[in-house]
Structure 1
């Protein structure tokens, strides 16, 4: 276990990351679904909503589970394994959403004539459903046998009469149930690194094609191509941040597998966990600064919020002003004719 102060710092940072994940990604979903007209008919924004939903669930489920599944609770191995798999499902959903975004931008650029037929709203949401279904299958793979159950031996205790041994559930940790070979060979190499390489290749082709078209384009077409390149840069930045935030943790898993636990300190491991969770909190900021439509939707939402708040403040000021004018009227009447004091308190003026 970590030292008490280190645990407090780690837990505090995880709570902060969880709050930012929830608020930021909920704002992204609301901005796209409500603030951008017709956004849910555009494939790219549908996949952005899918990615934001995965990041939102990281704040709701993955971060609390990461804090909980650190040896602080004693659970049955099957339940501990199931909760650990939730983190894998959400990570895989993020990877496949990023892959869908890259494929969508590539198809839009390379096959503009058939793009509309290939990306009808029904087909787009079917793709989103396939991504999440495949994420569940890949993330829940340890439930079907690739886990540490064969090496887990729960400690035995004794009952109150000290006669028969009683099995005691071991502390629940992620790596006590999830196999390191699974994390390295299947999850990292197959489910994370391979899609990242494919996405990198797609974005290289996108930028290469855009650069060539910009050289030969007319001034009217140049504006559209520059807008396309800006959006591609923003989405590529999201991919780059995902890789940068998740790679340290996967590299440490490789070190643990090939060179043993002495190669990775607990402080380094917790830093990698925090960094991977922070990725889900960064994406809404990227959308706000890099994608104009989402940026405008953010601005409209904040203007509405400020208008509602200012309206409530105006109503409160009006109520205070009305009560103040009524008080001043009463005081003026009393100063002119003290005899009116009693009657004015009983029957206040009806025209105010």
Structure 2
């Protein structure tokens, strides 16, 4: 039995490490791609960078701390409390960044772990879930729904002049970008709702209703959300995809330039040796 538990702990830790690496690498790519391109000047992509920074911090800080506090290293009560507060703060930044992005999209259209013993479950359910996660998600869903309903109604109108055609082109672009960002919101909800729902069941029903393994799966899903967002950006948001490609081509060109200079230096060295031998 103990060996089975040990193997399960190792597998869980391995998944956490893989997710953390994915968070760090993927979101660092997002930050570099947007920071080195002109689209960072747009307010929406400032918010995307903010979300990427938060997800990057989840990978390099929150997940390692979660592994530590999960029993791999002995910590005092207050150290454990501090570590959990840091992890929750970083994940809350992700939720608030998504909420700010939804508000930005709305304005753009209308104005062209084992923390149970340390942190009370009532706090996780009422404040962490209901106030900081559920309400923002509901508000964002309503905002995006209103955005899509308004854009759909405007696009049904037949363009009568050049200004209306330009307006419809603008709305189509906004609809595509809003759809991509809503997908990020949907993935956030799918990743975090299982853990929040289990917390609710545990708080209202008792510890016998939820197996421990289910909690670990929920934690993995919540952490994996920070690693998924860069993939959504790459496949769904054309401007970020273009920024990725520009960043990639820049590094490839830099690598070829370095290799070329090294080759030239090697040839010069060989010529020098030949001259000295003569």
Q: Would the aligned equivalents of 2:66 and 2:83 in 1 still touch at CA under 8 Å?
A: no
Structure that is richer in helix per residue:
2
Distance 2:227 2:9 in 1: 21
Distance 2:191 2:90 in 1: 15
Distance 1:320 1:32 in 2: 37
Q: Which of 27, 30, 33 is 1:31 aligned to?
A: 33
**The structure with more radius of gyration:** 1
Deviation per CA, 1:204-248: give whole Å up to 9, x if none: 000000001111152433222211110000000000000000001
Equivalences for residues 69-88 of structure 1 within 5 A: 69-88=69-88
Q: Would the aligned equivalents of 2:27 and 2:55 in 1 still touch at CA under 8 Å?
A: yes
| Cross-structure match for 1:308 | 254
Check if 1:52 corresponds to 2:52.
Answer: yes
| Cross-structure match for 2:234 | 288
Question: Aligned with 1:305: secondary structure?
Answer: helix
Q: Which of 180, 197, 202 is 1:234 aligned to?
A: 180
Deviation per CA, 1:100-153: give whole Å up to 9, x if none: 1111111111123xxxxxxxxxxxxxxxxxxxxxxxxxxxxxxxxxxxxxxxxx
Q: Would the aligned equivalents of 2:137 and 2:189 in 1 still touch at CA under 8 Å?
A: yes
Deviation per CA, 1:226-277: give whole Å up to 9, x if none: 1111000000000000000000111111121122222222221111111100
Deviation per CA, 1:129-178: give whole Å up to 9, x if none: xxxxxxxxxxxxxxxxxxxxxxxxxxxxxxxxxxxxxxxxxxx9411111
Q: Would the aligned equivalents of 1:32 and 1:45 in 2 still touch at CA under 8 Å?
A: yes
* Cα shift at 1:316: 3.7
Distance 1:317 1:8 in 2: 46
Higher relative contact order (CA 8 A, sep 6+): 2
* Cα shift at 1:301: 0.6
Q: Which of 229, 250, 258 is 2:196 aligned to?
A: 250
* Cα shift at 1:75: 2.3
| Cross-structure match for 1:16 | 18
Instruction: Give the superposed CA RMSD.
Output: 2.0
Q: Would the aligned equivalents of 1:106 and 1:206 in 2 still touch at CA under 8 Å?
A: yes
| Cross-structure match for 1:196 | 137
Q: Would the aligned equivalents of 2:63 and 2:223 in 1 still touch at CA under 8 Å?
A: yes
Check if 1:298 corresponds to 2:244.
Answer: yes
Check if 1:93 corresponds to 2:39.
Answer: no
TM-score by length of 1: 0.72
Q: Would the aligned equivalents of 2:39 and 2:45 in 1 still touch at CA under 8 Å?
A: no
Distance 2:272 2:109 in 1: 69
Question: Aligned with 1:262: secondary structure?
Answer: coil
Distance 1:322 1:217 in 2: 68
* Cα shift at 1:306: 0.9
What is the number of residues matched between the two proteins?
271
Structure 2 residue ranges without an equivalent (≥5): 160-164
TM-score by length of 2: 0.90
Distance 1:326 1:291 in 2: 53
* Cα shift at 1:311: 2.1
Structure 1 residue ranges without an equivalent (≥5): 113-171, 331-343
Distance 2:271 2:277 in 1: 13
Q: Would the aligned equivalents of 1:80 and 1:173 in 2 still touch at CA under 8 Å?
A: no
| Cross-structure match for 1:214 | 155
